[in-house]
Structures are given as C-alpha cells and as structure tokens.
Amino acid sequence: MFETLSPLAPDPILGLSAAFKQDTNSNKIDLGVGVYKDENGNTPILDAVKAAQTILQEKESSKVYITPQGHQGFIDGMLTLLLGASSKVLSDQRVAAVQAPGGCGALRILAELFMRCNKDTVVWVSDPTWANHIPLLGNAGLTLKTYPYFDKASASIKFDEMMDCLTEVKAGDVVLLHGCCHNPTGADLTQSQWQAVAELAQKTGFIPFVDIAYQGFGEGLDEDAYGLRLLADSVDEMVIAASCSKNFGLYRERVGLAAIITKNPETKRIAQSQIQSVARGIYSMPPSYGGALVDIILNTPSLYTQWNAEVTEMRERMITLRQLLVSNLAAQGVDKDFSFINRQKGMFSFLCIAPEQVQALRNDKSVYFVDSSRVNIAGINKQNVEALAQAIATVL
C-alpha cells in the first residue's frame, strides 16, 4: 500500500526551522515561525495563564469527557470577547459555536460544515493569505479562489482591486477575511474599508468568514474586533474562526472557537447540532485543558484584567520593535523607504524584498524568514535589531 505514496517537499516554515537549528552561527536570527518571543527569545507562559493553571489544578476533580461543544464558559467568554457584551446576535440567540482544537481545528470544522451545506461552495481568500488556509480549506473539498489584497511595490492594500473582485462574487460564496493583524502582510483594513466590505456583503449576499487569530495584537481587544462586529451587525449569516494560541500564549494547548451566525434561533439550533456532528466525525470529543484555562481567565475579573495588561504589553513591545527596525534601517542609509512597517500591525510584516535577497540573508547572514519576505516582528529584540538592519542593508 504505502509504496504508492510519493515524497512531499518539506513545509516551507517547518523546513526553515530545521535549517535554523542546524546553523552554527551564534548570531543567527529566527524570524520565521509565527510565535511570540520575549527579549530573551523565549515564548513565555503568561502570568494570567499560570494563575489559571493553579486554579484549575485545585478545582478539577475528574478527567471524564467534557461536553461535545466544549466548556460553555469558554464559549460564552470567547463570544463576548469577539462580538462584544452588547452584541445583538448574542442576545437574539443566533450564534452556534464549539470549542475547537486551535484556530486550525476551527477552520477545518467550518470547511466541513460548508461541504455539508453545499459541496460546490466557493471560498475566496486574500492574495496572499496564511499558507495553511489552503490545505485546511481545500483538503475538505472546497473550491478556492483568490481576491487581490496586497501590492508589494507600494507596500499597501489593493483595496479598489479587492472590491472590484468581490463585487463579482456570487451570493452564497464565502469570503475569508482576516479579522486583524493580517497574516502574512500585517496590512489591515481601515474602519471605512470594513464598512465598504460590510455594505458589499449585504448587497451581493456573500457570506463573510472571519479568521481572527491575533485579537489584541493590533490596536486593542475591542479595536481589533471592529470589522468582525460590524459584519455581525450587518449580515444575516457569517462564520468565525478564532484562535487562543497567540493572545493567550496557548500554542501547545491548541484551543480555538468555531462559530456560526445564523438568521434566527431555529436555524442556530440546527447549525449547533450539525457543527457538533462535524467535530464528532473528526476528533470525537474536544480537549479540555486549554479551554478550561481560557474559561477561568475570561470569567474571573482580576485575571481578565491581568491578561489584558499582558496582551497590551506584548502589543506595545511589537510596536516598539517595528519602530526600532525602521529607525535602524534608516540609520544604515538604505534607499528603500521601510516606514510602511510602522503602519502594519501585529506579529507579521512583509519586508517587500525579493526572494533572492531573502535567500542571501539566510545564506550569508544567518537571518531566517520565508521567501515571501514575511518576518515575525516578535523575533526581533533590542540585541539583534541593529545586526538585522545591517544584514538587510547589505543584501539591498
């Protein structure tokens, strides 16, 4: 049987990590894998998470399965975080949701649900988009198409081209939108642009699919949910995939949320049964630990305050790192204007340099990031930023 399989090329990002580990240069810099790192290059456990772990350890009395939809406190807390405490779709009982194994699990659950609704569903993704969107959605059998999003030449969003393309999207098609901190470009829609997208969704009847993995890393927890909340108030139907890996630092725990906004409570009840059935067919029962921690944090006022402060600290540090990189590049006297990095948000930025230059940085300077020129801003620190700027200046 297995001799019929063909070898596959290594995953670009995972292969990059392997190459970085093998590099013997003591001054090597890893800007590839999308995890938050502190000044020492560590991915820390948040203090709010440590406190929640202690609470959970003291109160947990069984390892029996949790309910099929997951921890209800986690679901309620996440929906409030995403949609807002005064959300009308929540008060109208129009939201079905399950706890998922990470944002990836949420994406795949929703992809499988689309296939149950209509096997010919077309999902439109931004060009570029997070690389794993393609297999997570496409391997479920969905047809994927792209809409223009980012122009490397100007380091800006192709909004007019994007809207021209989405105007032609058919009713019932799904449009995947990054809720904030676009991965891989770091370029986010403005509030007025979100408004235009919401109006177009109302007009054409496409279904918004918001993937939000970095809430709080752009401008703030509420500010980063602006587009998602606007869409939820504007359309009858939409879906949401959320991740707790980044803003809670729960990378290993793999906890996320898959949510569906329906036209009415009756459809919500049907959607809830279907989404739980999809999850049952993939992994049977949800893992408990990560969801339990988020439940405790979101529903304990003192821990929520502490967590919000830690998210703020991470966000402000990444903003500072952007400023340091831009100022250090300017100090190197490079001709290219990199000020756009300060306008991008979250963990990632496109440097908008050529793949050959990315390769030269890797081979000659031991600076590692993917060929698209996406860099993990959180991989920069005050000790390596000058060396990074010098390396970029050299290859330019």
Q: Write the DSSP symbol of residue 377.
A: G
Q: Is 211 a catalytic residue?
A: yes
Q: What is the side-by-side order of every strand in the sheet holding 174-178?
A: 95-100, 256-261, 238-243, 207-212, 174-178, 122-127, 143-148
Euclidean distance between CA atoms 280 and 285, whole angstroms? 6
Residue at token pair 């939820």:
232
Max CA separation in the chain (angstroms): 63
Q: Is 160 known to be catalytic? A: no
| Residue from 209, 129, 227, 124 nearest 167 by CA | 124
C-alpha 104/C-alpha 89 separation (Å) is: 24
Orientation angle between helical segments 191-204 and 226-234, nearest 10 degrees: 30
Which of these is catalytic: 246, 268, 345, 365?
Answer: 246
Single out the catalytic residue among 30, 124, 130, 295: 130
Calculate the CA 309 to chain-centre distance.
20
Residue 365 bears catalytic tag: no
Q: Which structure tokens are listed for 16?
A: 């990059």
Q: Which of 173, 211, 224, 295 is catalytic?
A: 211
Hey, which residues are catalytic here? 130, 211, 246
